[in-house]
């Protein structure tokens, strides 16, 4: 099996950024989902409710710094190293400490916000129209495997980095939002639920946890064991 895509999402729920390679850190890919948008109560804001976040591109500029750009707003530079203020935030059912960015960047972001496994996808002959993997917001996409082979994987090696398979990935309503037009519909959840639904959830893909560090790249080899 070979890696055909490596993607990062520097800000949770913003547009995917395709990269040729990525460093693997103990907590995941470098620059992936290191920032998030929260409301005045510290609750995470996601594209489930605010689809326009998917139209925002975040580009890493270095440690703790990113540049945000949108379809109807100029670029905004965000520097998390400019503040040491810690705040309590809630991400779904979890509470954690986060560092607040400087007030000017937060105000600019509010202005910007005002304009408010590939083989498995080949199973898409059951879907009314082709869908891209971007719907599922993956970090790594591979080809050369049987449909849903990841259901049986326990350990994975990509290039020289080992991962353990933590659990399958249950899919939410974000997959029904077109990442280009931002229009919402019923697919792919409606079709996937016909044969990938159990325990009250619809499943596609898997979560990996690094057991080491290193680099992965497009074209790299992936091996998996059950």
What was the pLDDT predicted at 70? Answer: 80
pLDDT-wise least confident of 27-31, 171-175, 180-184: 180-184
Helix, strand and coil in the chain, % to nearest 5: 20, 40, 40
Give how far Cα 101 sits from Cα of 6, 9, 66, 113, 123, Å.
27, 18, 11, 16, 43
- Match 């082709």 to its residue by tokens: 130
Q: Using DSSP, how many helices (H) and how many strands (E) does the chain show?
A: 3, 18
What was the pLDDT predicted at 109? Answer: 60
- Match 């931002």 to its residue by tokens: 182
What was the pLDDT predicted at 211? Answer: 95
**Best-predicted range by mean pLDDT (41-55, 61-75, 102-116, 197-211):** 197-211
List pLDDT tens digits, range 117-145: 444 444 444 455 678 889 999 999 999 99
Does pLDDT of 60 surpass 80? yes
**Interatomic CA distance for residues 27 and 38, integer angstroms:** 21
- The strands making up 2-8's β-sheet, listed across from edge to edge, are 17-19, 2-8, 140-143
- Coil/strand/helix, residue 12: coil
- Coil/strand/helix, residue 178: coil
- Coil/strand/helix, residue 219: coil
More confident residue, 116 or 50: 50
List pLDDT tens digits, range 151-179: 999 999 999 999 999 999 999 999 999 98
Share of the chain above pLDDT 90, in %: 60
List pLDDT tens digits, range 186-206: 999 999 999 999 999 999 999
More confident residue, 180 or 129: 180
**Interatomic CA distance for residues 64 and 35, integer angstroms:** 9
Phi, psi of 118, rounded to the nearest 5 degrees: -50, -35
Tokens of 90: 């809630």
Average pLDDT over the chain reads 87
Does pLDDT of 112 surpass 80? no
**Interatomic CA distance for residues 72 and 111, integer angstroms:** 10
- Is 187:202 a contact under the CB 8 Å cutoff? no
List pLDDT tens digits, range 205-224: 999 999 999 999 999 999 99
31: pLDDT confidence band, cut at 50, 70 and 90? Answer: very high
**Interatomic CA distance for residues 59 and 135, integer angstroms:** 20
More confident residue, 36 or 215: 215
**Interatomic CA distance for residues 66 and 35, integer angstroms:** 9
C-alpha torsion sign, points 103, 106, 112, 114: negative
More confident residue, 144 or 52: 144
Upstream peptide bond of 206 is cis (omega within 30 degrees of 0): no
Q: Which of 95, 6, 85 is nearest to 42 (CA)?
A: 95
């Amino acid at each position: 099996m070979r890696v055909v895509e490596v993607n990062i999402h520097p800000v949770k729920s913003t547009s995917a950024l395709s990269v040729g390679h990525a460093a693997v850190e103990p907590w995941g890919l470098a620059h992936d989902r290191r920032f998030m948008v929260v409301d005045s109560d510290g609750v995470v804001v996601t594209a489930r409710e605010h689809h326009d976040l998917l139209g925002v591109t975040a580009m890493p500029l270095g440690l703790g710094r990113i540049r945000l750009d949108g379809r109807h707003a100029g670029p905004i530079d965000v520097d998390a190293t400019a503040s040491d203020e810690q705040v309590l935030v809630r991400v779904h059912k979890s509470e954690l400490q986060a560092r607040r960015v400087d007030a000017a960047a937060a105000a600019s972001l509010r202005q910007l916000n005002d304009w408010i496994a590939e083989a498995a996808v080949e199973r898409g002959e059951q879907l009314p129209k082709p869908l891209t993997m971007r719907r599922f917001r993956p970090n790594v996409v591979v080809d050369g495997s049987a449909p849903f082979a990841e259901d049986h994987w326990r350990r994975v090696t990509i290039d020289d980095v080992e991962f353990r398979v933590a659990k399958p990935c249950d899919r939410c309503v974000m997959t029904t939002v077109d990442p280009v037009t931002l229009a919402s519909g019923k697919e792919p959840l409606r079709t996937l639920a016909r044969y990938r639904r159990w325990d009250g959830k619809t499943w596609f893909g898997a979560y990996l946890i690094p057991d080491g560090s290193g680099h992965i790249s497009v074209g790299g080899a992936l091996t998996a064991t059950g």
